[in-house]
Amino acid sequence: MNQPEELLFLHYATLATTTQERLQLLATISALFNRPPGLYDGTALGLSPGAWPQLCVWLQHNPSPFWTLEQQSIRIHRACQKHVIIGTGQLIEDLRFSSPSRPSFDDVWQAASLFIQQNIEGISHDQKAEA
């Protein structure tokens, strides 16, 4: 299937075998979203030491036009502003089982809305800075 180059498609269920690993890897991958072109290491991305190797392994197996893995860093070629998570049913299940309070749909919706607002504000701020 041809996928548009301006979109990143993440197949959530295949990220890892356990709930915690999938959620952690998704959070780690999201550190790459909306970053301007440049060279980044784990510290520059704000990753924990354990998350950096996970991200490197994922990048080795999931080539993308947005970024490439280099020796000790990741080169971001262009900002990944549009991404699609395939398998959100599994994501919601994982969130439900990983949280002791079992989030409601409204909790998930609020978190997603906040994430979108923060990213849109970040994009708008970056675009204003470029102008």
Domain membership flag for residue 12: yes
Confidence of residue 116 (pLDDT cuts 50, 70, 90): confident
Residue 46, CB half-sphere, CA atoms under 13 Å: how many?
Answer: 8
**Where do we find the tokens 């952690």?**
24
Query: In terms of residue numbers, what domain contains 101?
Result: 8-130
Domain membership flag for residue 45: yes
Domain membership flag for residue 49: yes
Polymer length in residues for the chain: 131
Domain membership flag for residue 1: no
Per-residue pLDDT at 45: 94
Count of structural domains within the chain = 1
- Portion of the chain with pLDDT greater than 70, in percent: 84
CA dist., res. 112 & res. 119, Å (int): 11
Domain membership flag for residue 85: yes
Domain membership flag for residue 111: yes
Task: Name which of 5-14, 48-57, 81-90, 109-118 the model is least confident about.
Answer: 109-118
pLDDT in tens, 47-69: 998 999 999 999 999 999 999 99
Q: Mean pLDDT, to the nearest integer, of 34-45? A: 94
Per-residue pLDDT at 21: 92
